[in-house]
Amino acid sequence: MKFQAIIFDLDGVICFTDEYHYRAWKSMADSMGIPFDREINNRLRGVSRMASLEIILEKYQGPALSQEKKEQLARQKNDIYRESLKEMSTRDLSDEVRETLDALRAMGLKLAIGSSSKNTPFILGQIGLKGYFDAVSDGNNITRSKPDPEVFVKAAQMLGVAPEKCLVVEDAVSGAEAGHAGGMKVACLGDAALNKAGDWNMKSIRELVDIAK
């Protein structure tokens, strides 16, 4: 077997919280009179909270904001987002994803999460995957967000697996770039697959089973 471990991005791969993020950022932007739409929202995929805020503030035309105010705006967004995440449940984990994870585990592969989100533990709990993964590297233990490879490198270290024996699964181009920068092969879904950012560009997560063999 060419891989010993698979490291999954969370949002857009294991589950989908895009709409929750969009609504929360939109609420925050509206409160500041900042234009915000789905095109701008798409630029935030795989990007950390503070880096996302800076992208949104490109359209801001008011007086200069202090770092303290920026952190307050980021917290405002996250409070709205976390409240909406309470709506998530095991229904947000598709049969396709669950069956694929179980099949990969049955092959003896180690499984990990590599996500920029600080809400990763909460989301995993909501969708019924708390304690499922062998390692969780997320926004709570990294200082640099994708396309920096830190989140995936740390996941590999937590698993005790060399980077070249890890396969990263991503839906964002920045995430695919991070995987490659970390010395790993990358399988892509969604937007990243459409942009041919991966070593494999998949239509379904089920394809992972054949890729991993």
C-beta of residue 148 within 8 angstroms of C-beta of residue 181: yes
Nearest partner of 116 among 75, 144, 91, 157, judged by Cα: 144
Nearest partner of 38 among 22, 60, 54, 16, judged by Cα: 22
Structure tokens at 78: 């996250």
In 32-149, where does DSSP find H-type helix? 38-42, 49-56, 67-85, 95-106, 120-126
Greatest Cα-to-Cα distance within the chain, rounded to the nearest angstrom? 57
d(CA 117, CA 121) in angstroms, rounded, equals 9
C-beta of residue 28 within 8 angstroms of C-beta of residue 20: no
Question: Can 11 be counted among the known catalytic residues?
Answer: yes
Q: Which helix (H) or strand (E) holds 188?
A: strand 185-188
d(CA 174, CA 188) in angstroms, rounded, equals 11
Q: Which helix (H) or strand (E) holds 110?
A: strand 110-114
- The catalytic position among 11, 138, 148, 191 is 11
Question: Could you list the active site residues?
Answer: 9, 11
